[in-house]
Structure 1
């Protein structure tokens, strides 16, 4: 037993010795292998093969410490051996940075040797690195962490993982502890070798860059060098170079990555072309440093940063480095590199950019010099060619062709447009429009071409007030709230940048050349604009001369055409033809000012242009308007024509049905011009058209004004002539029929009543209604009233309402226009117009047809009338005296006479007594007629016998004074001596001496008997020479009407 214990101890010692020798052998072998390590691959092979032969761990990782950043991160690993390589967060772990201050890693450092940890015990401890749980999820259960040191400073860690708990043996830990210094040395060597290799590679790249820089001639060359060579040693995402303008106050992009994402950012598409102030908090600060300056882009206020900064930030850039390039204190150029993550531009990147900055500046300066030389050569050649081409320009079309061919060489996006300043000097319109890729039928394009835009719109005024062309960013202008229609059209067409160049000769501004282009040679464009301005000025001068010649020629021709015009119809035909042929429009309306100087009535218009709104137009055209109507007042107060923009008038809320009517018609503009002769307004002229030559319009209106004045004068003369002719005819007619009394004969009591009534009403303008039997002298009384009135200086006009057929009475009273009805071959004025300012005697008013009574009533009430076929009302001042032998009250009751007209006429009724009620006047009347007809017959009959007087007094006189007159005339012709001794009274009941019962006979019976007696004496002849109508001195139509009313048939008077 005693010997057994030493043997066991000896065996254990031998085992221990063998283990130590084995460890020593392994350490020697591993040490030998580690000394052969030159790069990461060698070290990976060491871990994945040699160490795994000793101990079956799952995988190993070497991490390095960044003491300045206080983090550690993976440096070396074998991705093929890692059980977590398919884990979703594997990539982020490999690229991750882990805090050095976390409790887990501090414990590893404190242990100063290999430390094994069971993952389940530590992975959920607060502050533990996330890779512990990820490895646990990948099947790992234990981790062995060994600090790697260099000169007593921990430089990193060796991470080793095993799939079982307590899987790391003490022997393996001792081995790892033993080779840890050698692994540390190998890692340091790898780092140094990589640094040497990188330096060598960097030198090679910089040398290559230097060689390539020498070859750089263009911006694209420079871009290629930066993107190929420099990006290889500095991991930037994209680059940009800027150049400062001549004012040294702004800078803009000089070149940028052609394939950069900026081209896809529509909101920033034109940012590279926009100038940026030098004092932007980036460029100015970078200018203060000799070395490149790195900026953390996330630290900036994006809203206040320059546009290009926002653009790159939107592209994902988070860090940038800026190097100002220049010599002798200049800072004309800059190099800007951008990276997607912070930390990309470390000290090495700063050093590299500093080293190549001189060469970049030299190369970029050479590029600029070459571009300047080439630009000037091209400018000279370009302008010489353009000058040669433009010398042959004679018309606007020539200029459009030459300028288009020239500008297309500059490759504009969508052609160009020249907008010319209009005569109002406040608006511009398209002068030349050249569109490369826009359809000619584009509705918005056509509208913009045809619209006059105000100069003071925020863009045009800036261009015209500038000495140089100006660039405008379409998006920026829209974002600023510019609502100008053409700016939004540019946006719709995809234009990002527009340049506006002023066109002027001397101090005279002609217009603007707009060009859609991203970049252009400004001096070259100025040269083009200078020559274009001269050509445009010459063309406009020639066009103005030609236009004036055409205008003068046209106006002379129009003057000749209108000189031959004598009537309104001829004038309308001439105006319509001229407007259609020359101005391609139709006449909307001509209104003329009436004699009252206040009312404008429709004179002529073309109704065909209002077919779709004919009812509305007829309503408007039928109305007179006042000179103070707002639109009319504006036109009459202005020397030249006024353009009324329908949309603008509606927007301003201007009143008037005409504006809404124009909108219904679809009119865009309405032109209103005053028609005047000398300084006297005669009317207004209206056209509905988008645009018209105002000079021609003014000339046309002048000619039309004179023509209308002449026509009105001619119409007035013709009217006066016609009126005089009618008065003459009427006078001749009246001379035949008028009683040639200097005063009315009769002094009886009944006539004295009539005289008093005449004296009471004569001086007034009241309507008078004369009532009495046929032959009582109603016309004589009417004439007496007229001759005693203030109207006596003018002729009293008489109309017998029963003397004309019903269809002609209206024309007789009110007149008619030419063509108003069949047979109306000329205009005719009616009796009311003829009696203007005088008296109209309407005899036999009871015979007037009912349908005409309405129109008569209107004239009496309104004191105005319309001719048949006329379109305007005519004011009249007529005193009406009506007469009738009918009982109008009975006629009203019977429905044959309008009650309202009766009341209107019955203002001042005068009843004329029949002769049988004034027998005391028979003798003076008989003596009067005896004297009159004795002279006419050439006889000297100067007295009446007592027998004759007795017979005259005894007769009932159904025909009243007229019957007495005719009886005396007949008796004188039959008389043989100087005294009338025999009177030939009619042989009927009325001829017998009157007895008391004679007065029981009605007036109608007496009148019927008298007419039958006269018809018998005339052998039944009614009309014509020797007819009963002639004897009774009434028109044939009146006699027919009387006979029909009294029931007289042929059997009553026909003698077999």
Structure 2
């Protein structure tokens, strides 16, 4: 290799100077090779940290200048690196106030300075004053600079293609690390990496051997541990032989991992003499109390000088032990699978009691202590679960007998108050829309004195995306909310007000589920509750509520079917009345055309016309020609309902909404969902009901009387009236906004007197129907009767004609209907003819006009009015009325 190298140099630089340069290069190369070979041999002898420190402090310092070197290791899990090997004697920062903190610190890998080193294939040199103040730079750079260090050489240590750490070399001079230095360090970096890996493995082996020895020596005693008292004996009579502590305490984390309390207390503690001792060992303490969290951050036992703490700010247990004479303590979080649930705390009355030997012993027994404590906890948990199972079995038996919401409320109240000594705050249920929750059950007594605010809260639904609710619904387990913390966050939830009023620390929220389907939420106010037990109770409550709601739906569907059955029976009984519309005259052709235009749409239809003109028949024709024809058309006669029941009839009501509301009732709007609702005699509806009807038509949603849930409906409205709604609006008896909403597509039905050509077909149709129903054999009508029917004005329209034919058929004994019983008989007509001969023309005209106006129901002008019937202009009729002194009382009295 040397020949090859020298040949290249000679070719590129011929001459004597080139030969000298080549000679220097060869000598340099030889020196580097020898140094690398010697250092490699030395590194292979490294077994311990001190061996590697000696290598840097003696061998490498003998070759190159630098102040000190350290090795740091990478923690891939936490993306940090931390000191592993330190040359304390040579370090210029050993007396710095932050030194003890730095040698235990973890530094982030995610910063520019270290990223440059990670990306390099060899040593990287940095001037501290250029990098120490850059964003993200590690703290140790500035500390070294403050103690005179000016330059650092960073080399990545790699093993098996992975960076395991860094070699840090420092100098108090600039330009200390030349090319030869870097070449040497780069050359020995793989061997240093191997040495570091070997040291780590050797220390792990030694540690495991020590732990095994301790476990073996204590195994005979540990196997006898069955409960907390047994474990206390092992600690006191075994551990006290090795460590001179006064008394001990073991703690255990709660299930949430946020607080801890006493698991085991020592009878030898002088702290038990104080009155607050019971409170101190029963209270839960937050893990971030400045003591527990320090221990949790360290893998080793943490020794604390108790005199260095502000006694007014420490937990009660700490304060009592200090007052009792304790001056030093060591705390170790015991290793466990997953979360380290237990910890051991030893107290001593003297400082410097817990030396390295004591710490080592605690570490060595910690695993066995953890196992023993975990076994005890497991045994206690088994007993607790047996009790829970027994409790849940009893509760499930109570729940099994629940059939109604009231029964469920009693069962829940009994188990929460009598057994768990807590009270139910609120149960909310997810509505059918899947987006909102409505109040289902709550303890009214918890809100005594705040009824108005609570009623407002209990009457409103909340969305499933509301912060606290969403947190509960998205959790598989009950969620604990610290009331003070939620208030500090500025949570605007209204029920937080009641949480604060309750004077408790925590609120518990749990999702009610059946399978994986969210059903609702359950809220409890209490400082402590068995979460496992609560989860089991929630499962039972969820099933009970699901069954109750299912039963309610079954009852609702049953009622719905019964109502539909009634409608079907009514339709079957009356279908022959509307099997077809009889009449093909010009006026009816106009109606048919309008029906064809509006039937396919969703538009509201307003049917206008005199009584008896067949408005319901036309409504059914529109419905049957629409896309909604597969569902029943629902009919409501607004004139037939008492004013106080219209709302319940239209919108339904909940059980207990008012006196007599013994069951939930489905309203006509819900029955007509995706169908047609026919509002007959809409002009008779009270104003108050008109307001609510308008809202439902506009919003397409309603609330049952006494209900809190909003129900969406898709209903087509067909309304009918024989009143002049515009006149009703002027009189203040009908709302104009409702009229405009209904009057989208008005259809005026002609009176029978304007359909003279349809009278004969109608009469024959009714003769056929009623002769069959009555068992008669009437099959035709005489011409004379037809003429009489055409001559009559029919103030009752088609309905009057139908009833007249029905009566005439019953009175007929022939196959031909030869006589009809019109309201006025023939003798009266003859008397009228005699009377006409004794009266003046003006008197006859006056009587005739009054009679015509009466037959037109007082209507003077327009379609179906007296002027149209008399075939004179409306202005002429008004003039005659004025001239003949005809008063309204004369034609409105009939």
TM-score normalised over the length of structure 1: 0.53
Quick check: 1:645 aligned with 2:498?
no
Structure 2: how far apart are the matches of 1:694 and 1:741?
65
Structure 2: how far apart are the matches of 1:540 and 1:990?
111
Structure 2: how far apart are the matches of 1:808 and 1:498?
81
2:260 to 422, 428, 433: 428
CA deviations 1:816-863 (Å, max 9, x no partner) are 222222222222222222222211212222222333222222222222
Structure 1 residues 673 and 941: CA distance shift in structure 2, 3 A: same
Structure 1: how far apart are the matches of 2:230 and 2:719?
81
Could you say which residue in structure 2 is the equivalent of 1:124? none
Structure 1 residues 421 and 845: CA distance shift in structure 2, 3 A: same
Structure 2: how far apart are the matches of 1:414 and 1:900?
88
| 8 Å CA contact retained: 1:478, 1:488 | no
| 8 Å CA contact retained: 2:795, 2:857 | no
1:903 to 722, 740, 753: 740
Quick check: 1:733 aligned with 2:563?
no
Structure 1 residues 899 and 569: CA distance shift in structure 2, 3 A: farther
Could you say which residue in structure 2 is the equivalent of 1:519? 350
Quick check: 1:1000 aligned with 2:853?
yes
2:295 to 451, 456, 462: 462
CA deviations 1:414-458 (Å, max 9, x no partner) are 99754212335564234357853544499xx57x95445226945
Structure 1: how far apart are the matches of 2:849 and 2:892?
27
Structure 1: how far apart are the matches of 2:814 and 2:471?
84
Structure 1 residues 454 and 998: CA distance shift in structure 2, 3 A: same
| 8 Å CA contact retained: 1:810, 1:852 | yes
| 8 Å CA contact retained: 2:793, 2:855 | no
Aligned pairs for 1:648-797 within 5 A: 648-653=485-490, 656-659=493-496, 662-797=499-634
Q: Secondary structure at the match of 2:612?
A: coil
1:915 to 741, 744, 752: 752
Could you say which residue in structure 2 is the equivalent of 1:499? 329
Q: Secondary structure at the match of 1:589?
A: strand
Could you say which residue in structure 1 is the equivalent of 2:707? 870
Residue 570 of structure 1 and its aligned partner are, at CA, apart by 2.3
Structure 2: how far apart are the matches of 1:490 and 1:441?
7
Higher mean C-alpha deviation, range 541-550 or range 897-906: 897-906
| 8 Å CA contact retained: 1:475, 1:491 | no
CA deviations 1:987-1041 (Å, max 9, x no partner) are 28999699776432264469xxxxxxxxxxxxxxxxxxxxxxxxxxxxxxxxxxx
Q: Secondary structure at the match of 1:766?
A: coil
Structure 1 residues 436 and 483: CA distance shift in structure 2, 3 A: closer
Residue 966 of structure 1 and its aligned partner are, at CA, apart by 0.6
Structure 2: how far apart are the matches of 1:1003 and 1:535?
103
| 8 Å CA contact retained: 1:414, 1:438 | no
Could you say which residue in structure 2 is the equivalent of 1:56? none
Residue 884 of structure 1 and its aligned partner are, at CA, apart by 1.8
Structure 1 residues 1047 and 915: CA distance shift in structure 2, 3 A: closer
Aligned pairs for 1:284-363 within 5 A: none
Aligned pairs for 1:830-841 within 5 A: 830-841=667-678
Could you say which residue in structure 2 is the equivalent of 1:801? 638
Structure 1 residues 401 and 938: CA distance shift in structure 2, 3 A: farther
Residue 573 of structure 1 and its aligned partner are, at CA, apart by 2.4
| 8 Å CA contact retained: 1:641, 1:671 | yes
Could you say which residue in structure 2 is the equivalent of 1:230? none
Could you say which residue in structure 1 is the equivalent of 2:662? 825
Structure 2: how far apart are the matches of 1:844 and 1:940?
37
CA deviations 1:530-575 (Å, max 9, x no partner) are 9986774454222201111122222222222222222222222222
- Which of the pair has the greater relative contact order for Cα pairs under 8 Å at 6+ separation? 2
| 8 Å CA contact retained: 1:799, 1:843 | yes
Structure 2: how far apart are the matches of 1:422 and 1:761?
70
Could you say which residue in structure 1 is the equivalent of 2:439? 602
Could you say which residue in structure 2 is the equivalent of 1:173? none
2:689 to 844, 852, 860: 852
2:406 to 562, 569, 593: 569
Residue 400 of structure 1 and its aligned partner are, at CA, apart by 9.0
Could you say which residue in structure 2 is the equivalent of 1:453? 286
CA root-mean-square deviation: 4.4
Structure 1: how far apart are the matches of 2:234 and 2:663?
63
Quick check: 1:542 aligned with 2:379?
yes
Aligned pairs for 1:365-384 within 5 A: none
Structure 1 residues 618 and 822: CA distance shift in structure 2, 3 A: closer
Structure 1: how far apart are the matches of 2:323 and 2:596?
91
CA deviations 1:903-962 (Å, max 9, x no partner) are 332232222222122222111111111111121122222211111111111111111111
| 8 Å CA contact retained: 1:473, 1:496 | no
TM-score normalised over the length of structure 2: 0.62
Q: Secondary structure at the match of 2:426?
A: strand
Structure 2: how far apart are the matches of 1:780 and 1:1002?
23
* Structure 2, gaps ≥5 residues long: 1-87, 90-95, 100-216, 833-846, 860-890
* Structure 1, gaps ≥5 residues long: 1-278, 281-300, 305-382, 1007-1045
Structure 1 residues 545 and 936: CA distance shift in structure 2, 3 A: same
Structure 1 residues 491 and 875: CA distance shift in structure 2, 3 A: farther
| Count of aligned residue pairs for this structure pair | 624
Q: Secondary structure at the match of 2:388?
A: helix
Structure 1 residues 747 and 998: CA distance shift in structure 2, 3 A: farther
Structure 2: how far apart are the matches of 1:414 and 1:869?
69
Residue 793 of structure 1 and its aligned partner are, at CA, apart by 0.8
CA deviations 1:118-152 (Å, max 9, x no partner) are xxxxxxxxxxxxxxxxxxxxxxxxxxxxxxxxxxx
Could you say which residue in structure 2 is the equivalent of 1:236? none
Structure 1: how far apart are the matches of 2:556 and 2:501?
40
Structure 1 residues 797 and 550: CA distance shift in structure 2, 3 A: same
